[in-house]
A and B are shown apart, each in its own frame.
Chain A
Amino acid sequence: MFQEAPPSLVPAVLREYGSLTREALSQYLPSHEPRRHLYDLVADYPNRGGKMMRPSLCIATARAFGGRLEDALRCAVSLELLHNALLIHDDIEDGSEERRGLPTLHVQHGVPIAINVGDTLTLLSLRPLFENHRQLGPRLSMRILEETEVMARESAEGQAIELGWRQDNDTTITEQDYLLMVLKKTCWLATIYPSRVGALIGTRGRIDADRFIRFGFYLGAAFQIQDDLLNLVADARYGKERDGDLWEGKRTLMLVHLLRHCTASERERVSTTLAGTREERQEADVAWLRERMEHYGCLEYARQIAHGLAGAALEEFRAAYAGLPDSRDKRFIEGLVTWVFERS
């Protein structure tokens, strides 16, 4: 049976590795002109904080496989920079208004400036990867660049799938469609890539990185579903607008479940509500969607599925990390599975 890591371990490691990553990341943020419309804003999202799960998972995996922290730090920095770049663009594409408790960048500074800042963060994320060759050598560095290209492409494909659903107002999405989208959009960047790259660094490239796809998928999917649930029950600590996903017409597991179980007339109303833009939606529409989700038990359903996926993640963790000696980093990675449900 599953042995939980001490409850304090995951937050402690996230703080430790997160702090190291932030410190290293600051060295990659230019401080020269143009500052007002670019470099000051480039530092905005990274300075707002964040859970730092991605860089911490990368560092911990590298160390669990015998690598050194400093060998994984550049990849951790790159991950966080790219993550923040994608957040800026996601916020624009989703029409989100809040990020980490503050107005989103495009709300504050306009869409053109925000797009350019996101582009710049993407480019800045490449620099640490280029510098990897100093410590990791050209062969492994090139392999990591290839991994990065695959991850970025998968993320873009996942985002395209979700945006397409919204644009076409697709209400025929199945759970498998949803899970495939999450695999691409969320899991590659959040869990699969950090695990794969960490293991490659820890073993100096001597590992079959595909073993982390399953573990990363189940952990990342549980994380995403829990994130979507928090959006509906969030308090101030969550840092995003409550019910923001409903306002944005985002396709979540709860919505998929609702569409599958509601009556034909209700499905028609759901479709009509989702067809409009965020500005066209009314408070009453969002409240109705929310009420129907509760009526059909969509939240509890998604919660149960997320726990089921987390259980699968634990199974896959044991396979992917088999044979490694016990370590703080290994316990941290395992502890992430339950931490997904403990975070606010």
Chain B
Amino acid sequence: MSDDRYHLHEPQRTGPHRQFANILSSASPGSDPDHGGVDETSEAAGSFVAEGVRSAYQVVDAYIRQGQRVARSLGLPSYEPPVPVSHVNELSARWIQASSELMAIGFEFLGSLAESMAAAGYPYPPRPGRGGHAPTPPHAPTPPHAPAVRVHFEIASSRPAQPDLQFLPGRQTLALASHGLRTLEPGVPTIPVEFEPAEHEGCVLVRILVPPDQPAGLYTGSPLHAQSGVSVGSLSLHLR
């Protein structure tokens, strides 16, 4: 074995070098050595700059430590050094959280997709009813996301009258027609109904003329889509 071993020299320093005064000396166009009385020598300047930077290190170190203490006391994640995730419960909680977020995004996506399809003219998906799936009429009276129709009633009646018009979901329309309102009692005349789109867009006027001798009772009928004749809801009039 040779005794001619290589020995490392003792390091000149064992701590971080924080005398940064000269690092940016080439990038200090505003620096004027003749200006002011501080920098008698570059060594002196380096000394007070090092002191200033050391102060800054102390400030930020103390700040971070304080932040970590506050965060721990409040149970906050901020300012906390990252903790390796190995605990099963922690992983489970994160898995559940991620799954719920994914489901929310999934529903949002499906909602957007349905809106896009509707906008492109695809028929609205049939809704399950009591007797199974309600068939979509061959000429759907309204697009599924038509703006809401506002209804005004104009009723000529000698009796107190309470009208009600309900549209089926997705079947609101201004183009309405009706066979009139009937009661279950035999022999009672039908009450005529007229529909008229009002001046204001999205509003329909329902005009009901009740004959003077019309008996009290509940009168019902179907408002129909004026072109296709498809029922779009229910119309009732309660005469007292």
Contact = CB atoms under 8 A, between A and B. Distances in A.
B78 A146 contact: yes
Interface in B88-102: 97-98, 101
B20 A300 contact: no
A338 B24 contact: yes
B38 A312 contact: no
Contacts of A295: 37
A218 B36 contact: no
B25 interface: yes
Contacts of A263: none
Interface in B36-94: 36-39, 45, 48-50, 52-53, 55-60, 63-64, 78-79, 81-82
Contacts of B28: 303, 307, 341
Interface stretch (A16-24, A104-112, A165-173, A206-214): A206-214
A342 to B, nearest CB: 7
Interface string A204-233: 000010100110011001000000010001
Interface in A133-178: 137-139, 146-147, 150, 175-176
Given A213-B60, A307-B28, A341-B28, A176 B37 contact: no
B48 to A, nearest CB: 7
A217 B60 contact: yes
Contact of A214 (B21, B30, B37, B60): B60
Interface residues of B, number: 42
B64 A341 contact: no
Contacts of B19: 308
B7 to A, nearest CB: 28
A312 B20 CA distance: 7
Contacts of A300: 31-32, 35-36, 38-39
A276 interface: no
Where chain A touches its partner, the secondary structure class is helix
Interface string A314-344: 1100000000000000000000011001100
A294 B38 CA distance: 10
Contacts of A44: none
A175 B55 contact: yes
Contacts of A126: none
Contacts of B56: 179, 217-218, 221, 309, 312
A297 B60 contact: no
Nearest to B58: A176
A183 interface: yes
Contact of A312 (B32, B53, B101, B104): B53
A308 B60 CA distance: 15
Interface string A264-303: 0000000000000000000000000000001111111101
A296 to B, nearest CB: 7
A307 B59 contact: no
A304 B45 contact: yes
Contact of B59 (A139, A179, A337): A179
A218 B24 CA distance: 14
A180 interface: yes
Nearest to A214: B60
B11 interface: no
Given A138-B101, A139-B101, A311 B24 contact: yes
A337 B20 CA distance: 13
B55 A179 contact: yes
A305 interface: yes
Interface string B5-29: 0000000000010111101110111
B170 to A, nearest CB: 27
A210 B58 contact: no
A310 interface: yes
B58 A294 contact: no
What 4 A-B pairs are tightest by C-beta distance, nearest first?
A311-B20, A297-B36, A297-B38, A300-B36
22 contacts: A2-B24, A139-B97, A183-B63, A210-B81, A217-B63, A218-B60, A296-B37, A297-B35, A297-B37, A300-B38, A301-B48, A304-B31, A304-B49, A308-B52, A309-B20, A309-B52, A310-B20, A314-B23, A315-B16, A338-B27, A342-B27, A342-B29
Interface of B: 16, 18-21, 23-25, 27-32, 35-39, 45, 48-50, 52-53, 55-60, 63-64, 78-79, 81-82, 97-98, 101, 104-105
